[in-house]
Amino acid sequence: MATVIDGKVVAADVVAKVKAEADRLIAETGVVPGIAVVIVGHDPASQVYVASKGKKAKECGFNSIEHALPAETSEEELVAVVEKLNADPAIHGILVQLPLPGHIDSGRIIQTIAPEKDVDGFHFINVGKLGTGELDTAFVPCTPAGSMLLIERALGRDLSGLSAVVVGRSNIVGKPMANLLLNANATVTIAHSRTKDLPGLCRSADILVAAVGRPEMIKGDWVKPGATVIDVGINRLPADANGKARLVGDVAYDEAAATAGSITPVPGGVGPMTIALLMANTVISASRAAGLVSWR
């Protein structure tokens, strides 16, 4: 059976470092890391996620602010909120919770966030820095950044000579994940819905990252013996006969675990890493604003 890569343990290590850096920043400069989350409307899943971000920020010693706006908020009103946060020196990280209501252009809102406060890593400036290998100054999207730390935990930082396949080409996970793997010297292929012989391609991978949002799509016989499998998917299956719903990833875990060398579970794998890296990006932003060398 594969070694389980415990995201909870790795995330706890990251959060401990974030807390230590926040304490150092406050002691040396008096600057308290500040994060602002903007949510528009009443999407239940978004509200749960925003609440968890706020709780973790307070645990890290941050100043956490939430702007809850009604669903009918106009695009111009939302732009004004973001621009006000851009100008606030006490705020170092700005997140606009997605999805936004249909009448608001999400792309415009994301590009309105100041790149130095874009702790989600979605602004074109940060995307460009990641794509050109400028990782020291880029903010990297939190889910792929967290996934990369899990890969490092299993294989180390230098992935020279290893073949990586990323299944999924989204701007949020697939593409930045591929860039991170390239930066670590892996040979990378991005696969998607139009890829020919997807099972065969997956079987060639020393590192297999699944980020497609389809429950248990990656089967056990798609996994190369000894491969490292990172399952980014979080899918809620309908309730069973006992009325109990179940969370599964994009990988058929039991099958894949019998073949892989190491694997992330769902839940408890990539999920905890996303918020941990969000906190890390925020304290890095605050350190840069205060003129300190950041910890990462």
Q: Is residue 240 annotated as a catalytic residue, yes or no?
A: no
**Catalytic option among 56, 118, 120, 231:** 120
- Answer whether 126's CB lies under 8 Å from 114's CB: no
- 206: its two tokens: 């020393």
Q: Phi and psi for 169 in degrees, rounded to 5?
A: -125, 30
Of 215, 210, 59, nearest in space to 143 by CA: 210
Distance of CA 61 to the CA centre of its chain: 21
Helix (H, G, I), strand (E, B) or coil at 33: coil
Q: Is residue 120 annotated as a catalytic residue, yes or no?
A: yes
- 76: its two tokens: 């111009």
Q: What is the spatial order of strands in the sheet that 63-69 belongs to?
A: 63-69, 34-40, 93-96
Q: Which residues contact 293 (CB under 8 A, 6 or more apart)?
A: 287
In order of 36, 78, 104, the CA distances from 107 in angstroms are: 19, 12, 9
- 205: its two tokens: 């991978």
**Catalytic option among 56, 97, 175, 250:** 97
H-assigned helices in the chain: 7-29, 44-59, 75-86, 106-112, 124-131, 142-155, 174-183, 198-203, 253-257, 271-289
Q: What is the set of active-site residues?
A: 53, 97, 120
